[in-house]
Amino acid sequence: MTLLERVRGFAIRHDLWRPPTLGIVALSGGSDSVALLLLLHEFATHGEVVLDAAAHLNHSIRGRDADEDEAFCGELCARLMVPFVASRIDVPAKASLERVSLEVAARRARHAFLEQVRESRAADFVATAHTEDDQAETVLLRIVRGAGTRGLAGILPRRRHLIRPLLACSRDELRAYLTSRDQTWREDETNQDVTNPRNRVRHDLLPYLARHFNPSVRASLARLAEVARGDEIAIGPLVEAASADIVRVSTEEVSLDAAALNALPEGLARRVIQNALTRIRPDRICNLRDVDLVLAVAKGGPTAAEFSGLRVERFDDSAVLVKRARNLRPRRRGAGTRVPRR
Amino acid sequence: MTLLERVRGFAIRHDLWRPPTLGIVALSGGSDSVALLLLLHEFATHGEVVLDAAAHLNHSIRGRDADEDEAFCGELCARLMVPFVASRIDVPAKASLERVSLEVAARRARHAFLEQVRESRAADFVATAHTEDDQAETVLLRIVRGAGTRGLAGILPRRRHLIRPLLACSRDELRAYLTSRDQTWREDETNQDVTNPRNRVRHDLLPYLARHFNPSVRASLARLAEVARGDEIAIGPLVEAASADIVRVSTEEVSLDAAALNALPEGLARRVIQNALTRIRPDRICNLRDVDLVLAVAKGGPTAAEFSGLRVERFDDSAVLVKRARNLRPRRRGAGTRVPRR
């Protein structure tokens, strides 16, 4: 099966586009995104999708190299007759203004730019060139940092308007595809600073695992992500149905019917609690320890627990979650009064 | 919470024993199993379980050290007034007879011995001293080798008559507990040979992850295993119900209703296929690639596929699994004729 056929299969399986769908390609000039552009261009030639434009953001981080990247992308698009939209932003200035790392500032700027291009052109999606390698890094990083099975789903094939058609392709395959078509790309001065956890995973941990345990470890991790995502989809309707029975939301609090919660299989009970935590704190990703604390209180272990800005307390047949008001803390000891765990 | 209380909580949560339950402790003399014996002895003193005996197998691998281990265990049991059952087996001879590694031969011999002791004494369980460290190693090894979420459940708290009450305790905690009680243990000359994958995980990979990513990586992995097990329990009844509708078993073959299978969320479809594969091949652990092949055939991709001694073929509305008879192979090419994947 050719790379083109595999990407097509992936797109069909995840319903990423259908004939009249209008798409934007995020193009950095690196091998992954150049391959993405060429592949989508091929699909467009076959009438499977409409390639509306390629969008390039110059981050003003790498000086002349960045300008050359932009010129390279512009020329490539001109040759393919794909409209080219470029913009420039001073990421270092943005980072120091927002007091975040260059990496975070760059990601935010990129997302905002891509979404703006998509909206202004009324396109249906922005395709980004995340590969199996990126997926493996994400999943592995989450595993070693302590994710639940939910986190293992990793980078999703689609999140709102963002699609990732190359999630099942390795970087090596993409480069082989480009080479076979005599297509060059810009070598990103890959960040080799291994004090950054993702770089350490990429340059150190994954090569070590491939050498000593499993040469296809990246593919195995990407596959695990897909299975975990499948499990999420399978279990989702169950969680929704149970949550509808068990979780009550008011303006002040979220309460859980303890008896009904305790009657559930524990895996399901955990998901219902995750749901409840998301209702009271939509902006945060659930921590498994928080979920366990709520479960312990619902089961009649400690009568109350406090964690990450929330308080959970057992009242009669309910476990009630409230946001913790600063002035309600009785005593402040260390980072806050906590009911000891375990 | 003391170690004793935590182990009690774990035992209650997983329903490992109730007052009249009669148990055997597998005792090697190492810190984990000595702690297990002392803890169960405390529970027995409180009338929570009946400690019937400690069982020790001398593997005849480590010569005089092994004899000293046995003597140490015997003396400890005498002091605690716990019946001591010891036996000796020539593991090196068994390994060369069965043409397996020392490790595999030792594990088989140990399992057979423990089960024999349990049966002969009509006990309800054999408790082994697997810890959070063992759990973390198992889960990590499965992840890097390519497990699905099912494999992530790792070592189960109970498997038939075997129970593992210390699965949520770290080795360090157990040693601190022993030290606090002035209890010594036998230092196992731990196998440092890192060409053995588990030793490499223990002595190399986990310390690296703890140093560079997450000091509590072992606890995080053990927690992931517990969440995965919970998910399994939550999703189990769904899989059973769907399998009852979709999987038909006869003496010759297992067939799957393709339309009904394809109508399921993919995660659930995968589990139903795992079920079907287990019906036709009860002795083997499912490989995710095999599951994907069956799914592809059911979805109308390739019309047939062969893998690991099985053949799956699409007939009308069914995907039919049969064991592959040697004389039915049309041509033999390499490891067998295969329908190309992807």
Rounded to two decimals, the ipTM of the complex is 0.79
| Inter-chain residue contact A230 with B266, CB threshold 8 Å | yes
Question: Which among A197, A265, A268 has the least Cβ separation from residue B213?
Answer: A197
Which has more pLDDT, B42 or A281? B42
Q: Does B222 touch chain A (CB under 8 A)?
A: no
Chain A contact present for B9, CB below 8 A: yes
- Of B270 and B332, more confident: B270
Q: Do A233 and B271 touch (CB under 8 A)?
A: no
Task: List the single residue in A with minimal CA-CA distance to B169.
Answer: A342
Strand B84-88, strand B50-58: pairing: parallel
| Average pLDDT taken over every residue of chain A | 87
User: Using CA of residue B91, residue B93, residue B94, residue B95, what is the dihedral sign?
Assistant: positive
**Strand ranges, E, within chain B:** 22-26, 50-58, 84-88, 125-127, 158-159, 162-163, 247-249, 253-257, 304-307, 310-315, 318-323
Of A9, A152, A340, the CB nearest to B149: A152
Please, are residues A84 and A78 in contact by the beta-carbon 8 Å criterion? yes
The residue length of chain B stands at: 342
Q: Counting one residue from A and one from B, how many pairs have CB atoms under 8 Å apart?
A: 139
> A126 — phi, psi (to 5°)?
-115, 125
Which residue of A lies nearest to B291 if distances are taken between CA atoms? A227
Query: Taking residues A213-222, what's their average pLDDT?
Result: 93
Chain A contact present for B288, CB below 8 A: yes
Strand partners, A223: none
Q: What is the mean pLDDT of residues A155-165?
A: 94
- Higher-confidence residue of B15 and A124: namely A124
Please identify which residue in the block is written with the tokens 């366990």: A292
Chain-chain contact of A144 with B266 (C-beta, under 8 angstroms):
no
Percent of chain A past pLDDT 70, that is, above it, reads: 92
Q: A211 CB near a chain B CB, below 8 Å?
A: no
Assessment of whether the complete model's pTM goes beyond 0.95: no
Rounded to whole angstroms, what are the CA distances from A12 to A89, A123, A156, A182, A279? 35, 19, 15, 28, 33
Q: Is some CB atom of chain A closer than 8 A to the CB atom of B295? A: no
- pLDDT at position B190 is 58
Asked if the Cβ–Cβ distance from B233 to A9 is below 8 Å, we say no
Within 17-76 of A, beta carbons closer than 8 Å to B belong to: none
CB A36 within 8 A of CB A127: yes
pLDDT-wise least confident of A16-25, A135-144, B66-75, B286-295: B286-295
Interchain contact, B213 vs A145, CB within 8 Å:
yes
User: What confidence tens digit (pLDDT) does each residue in B14-59 have?
Assistant: 889 987 899 999 999 999 999 999 999 999 999 999 999 999 999 8
- Give yes or no for residue B331 having a pLDDT over 50: no
CA geometry: angle B322, B323, B325, nearest 5 deg: 120
Q: In angstroms, what separates the C-alpha of B232 from chain A's closest C-alpha?
A: 7
**Contact (CB<8Å) B233/A266:** yes
Q: What's the CA gap between B288 and B144, in Å, rounded?
A: 14
Q: Which of A209, A227, A233 sits opposite B288 (nearest CB)?
A: A227
Cα–Cα distance measured from residue A8 to residue A66, given in angstroms and rounded to the nearest whole number: 32
Residue B228 near chain A (CB below 8 Å): yes
* Alpha carbons A122 and A109: distance in angstroms, whole number: 20
